[in-house]
Amino acid sequence: MPLTGIEIYKLLPKTNCGECGVPTCLAFAMSLASGKAELAKCPHVSEEAKTRLSEAAAPPILPITIGIGERALKVGGETVLFRHEKRFENPAGLAMLVSDNMDEAEINARLEKTKTLKYERVGLTLHPDLVAVKNDSGDAQKFAAVAGKVKQNSDCHIILMSASPDNLAAALKVCADRRPLLYAATEETADRFAALSKEFACPVVAKSSSLDGLAQLTGKLMGLGVKNLVLDSGARTVRKAFEDQIVIRNAALKKFRALGFSTITFPCEMTTNPLKEALIASMFIAKYAGIIVLSDFKGESLFPLLVERMNIYTDPQRPLATKEGIYEINNPKDDSPVLITSNFSLTYFIVSGEIENSKVPCWLLVKDTEGLSVMTAWAAGKFGADTMSPFVKKCGIDVKVKHRKLVIPGYIASESGGLEEELPGWQAMVGPREGAHIPAYLKNWKV
Ligand code: SF4
């Protein structure tokens, strides 16, 4: 049974020093009990108390790691039902199916996609995460050969899918060093999967046809010493799989430990229509899959899924922001245009991208607006003439250009007069409202 807030409080130092970020030990205890704080935030807790509190302090959904190295995929660790309550922690991993019945050319083509389908977006590299190797042939050697090929030709993490523990053991001999996820232990095979998991230090998927059965199975696997688990509720209709995700997340947040694990879902087994498959996957990104297995990676569906995932898993309380300063784009000279924008990352990357596309050399001034977009920052009093002008004066753009023309976003055209008053000698020029119109505007710009 998890400890209550009062029970946790009794184990804390009770000095109310506030170093954990809340004013009192009682408030910290309550946050720990509800899974909204981490025990590590209190530097004064005793070792004895740490041991006793570890159960209460553990996130309701156990975080596990698949793969190795810097790109190892962490799933689980979630603490809330809704993103706006705090944030979602570890983005769902996107996997592509590779069957050991596919011919070599098809397998090679699929593995090539894991290298090429990568996208730059707001300063981040978006990429898929996993290859799920399925033992459709039932043949151990064939399965091991494809697992070895994936290991050699892709930096994606590996899911080994076979009903046969013997075939899994054969594949593990060639790729255990990549710490693959083993799919899937059932009531009948739990002992064998537990042994493989312990021998090769790999996480395991527990699969059952009902949530009751799943809870019993995880209990059995934990009893056998397997802690790193992922859940497959067995549902292969969209409605049932969706319901199961919701029930599992709710149960886990209520500290029902038997379902306190991340999940794996299979849109690839719910439809044969690629568009529907992408739609189903997008639903599971929002609610609440840890891993989503797709029949293939196709750029037109993978890219929107990666962008959705990035958006869902950003911290809603901390807008992505770009550093304040002067950005040089296309090698500007002293007669190049000077534009100014806010430091909301998306705004910065859209504006800088459009300037790059225009091929016109420019100076882009990025003003710290605490990560707010142009209009939001303007409405909050962070991007008006009175706040922009001190930044323009101190940033040093006046020594980089010989002209005194500043292009402001069209949405804040009303600030142009005030800006010219605050910046004597400067002319405020009203630029386009939309980023897409920047290239055409710059082509007609003259000193
Ligand atoms: Fe109490 Fe520890 Fe927080 Fe200090 S840091 S207030 S001792 S819980």
Q: What is the rounded average pLDDT of the residues 9-36?
A: 88
- Taking the C-alpha atoms of residue 105 and residue 415, their distance in angstroms, rounded to an integer, is 60
Q: Is 17 in the pocket of ligand 1 (CB under 6 A)?
A: yes
pLDDT at 405 over 60: yes
Q: What pTM, to 2 d.p., does this model score?
A: 0.77
Are 115 and 211 found together in one domain? yes
Residue 353 falls within a domain, yes or no?
A: yes
Q: Are residues 395 and 418 in the same domain?
A: yes
My answer on whether 334 and 429 are in the same domain is yes
| 295 backbone dihedrals φ, ψ, rounded to 5° | -70, -25
15 ligand 1 Cβ < 6 A: yes
Residue 165, domain member (yes or no): yes
Residue 378 CA to ligand 1 center (angstroms) comes to: 39
Considering the domain architecture, whether residues 388 and 298 belong to the same structural domain is answered as no
292 & 226 share domain: yes
For residue 320, tell me if it sits in a domain: no
Residue ending a domain, among 280, 312, 344, is 312
Q: Is residue 201 part of a domain?
A: yes
Alpha helices in 117-270 (DSSP H): 140-153, 165-175, 190-200, 211-223, 238-253
- Integer Cα distance of 4 and 23 in angstroms: 19
- 375 and 250 within one domain: no
Residues 228, 145 share a domain = yes
Residue 319 lies in a domain: no
Q: Find the 8 Cα to ligand 1 centroid distance in Å.
A: 12
For the segment 37-49, what is each residue's pLDDT rounded down to a tens digit?
888 889 999 888 8
Cα 252 to ligand 1 centre (Å):
27
pLDDT band (50, 70, 90) for residue 55: low
Stated as kind and residue range, the H or E segment containing 276 is helix 274-286
pLDDT, tens only, 275-330: 999 999 999 999 999 999 999 999 999 999 999 999 999 888 777 788 899 999 99
* Best of 44, 45, 46, 50 for a ligand 1 pocket test (most atoms within 8 Å of beta carbon): 44
**Mean pLDDT rounded to a whole number for the chain:** 94
pLDDT given for residue 1 in this prediction: 52
Examine the fold and report which residue of 287, 312, 337 is the final residue of a domain before the chain moves on: 312
Which of ligand 1's atoms lies nearest the C-alpha of 24? 6
**Locate tokens 């553990």: which residue?**
58
pLDDT digits (tens, 9 = 90+) for 197-209: 999 999 999 999 9
Model pLDDT, residue 56: 64
215: number of Cβ within 10 Å: 19
Q: What is the mean pLDDT of residues 407-426?
A: 96
Q: Assess whether 33 and 135 both reside in one domain.
A: no
pLDDT digits (tens, 9 = 90+) for 237-274: 999 999 999 999 999 999 899 999 999 999 999 999 99
Nearest alpha-carbon partner for 341 in 293, 375, 310: 375
Q: Which residues pair with 66 in a beta bridge?
A: 73
3-class DSSP assignment, residue 382: coil
- Of 11, 24, 25, 38, the residue with max ligand 1 atoms within 8 A of its CB, to mutate for a pocket test, comes to 25
Q: What is the CATH number of the domain that holds 52?
A: 1.10.15.40
How many CB atoms are located within 10 Å of the residue 204 CB?
Answer: 25
- 2 against 394, higher pLDDT: 394
- Domain span including residue 384: 325-443
Residues 291 and 365 in one domain: no
Provide the domain count of the chain. 3
Taking CA atoms only, the protein residue closest to ligand 1 atom 1 is: 25
Q: What pLDDT is stored for residue 2 in this prediction?
A: 60
Q: Are 231 and 264 in contact (CB under 8 A)?
A: yes
Domain boundary among 263, 284, 312: 312
Same domain, 86 and 175: yes
**In a domain? residue 317:** no
pLDDT in tens, 146-185: 999 999 999 999 999 999 999 999 999 999 999 999 999 9
pLDDT band at residue 4, thresholds of 50, 70 and 90?
confident
CA of residue 250 to ligand 1 center, whole Å:
29
Ligand 1, closest atom to CA 21? Answer: 3
Residue 385 has a pLDDT of: 96
Domain with 359 in it: what CATH number?
Answer: 3.40.50.11600
What's residue 58's pLDDT? 74
**Are 197 and 98 within one domain?**
yes
Q: What is the pLDDT of residues 83-128, one digit of tens each?
A: 988 889 999 999 999 999 999 999 999 999 999 999 987 778 999 9
| Residues 44 and 19 sit within 8 Å (Cβ to Cβ) | yes
Same domain, 285 and 170: yes
237 burial class (0-12, 13-18, 19+ CB within 10 angstroms)?
exposed
Q: At what angle do helices 190-200 and 211-223 cross, to 10 degrees?
A: 50
Query: What CATH number has the domain bearing residue 196?
Result: 3.20.20.20
pLDDT tops 90 at residue 75? yes
Pocket test residue of 8, 20, 53 for ligand 1, highest count of atoms within 8 A of CB: 20
Taking CA atoms only, the protein residue closest to ligand 1 atom 2 is: 42
Q: Is residue 438 part of a domain?
A: yes
What is the per-residue pLDDT for 35? 66
Atom of ligand 1 nearest to the CA of 41: 5
Tell whether the model's pLDDT for residue 17 goes beyond 90.
yes
What is the mean predicted confidence (pLDDT) over 427-435? 95
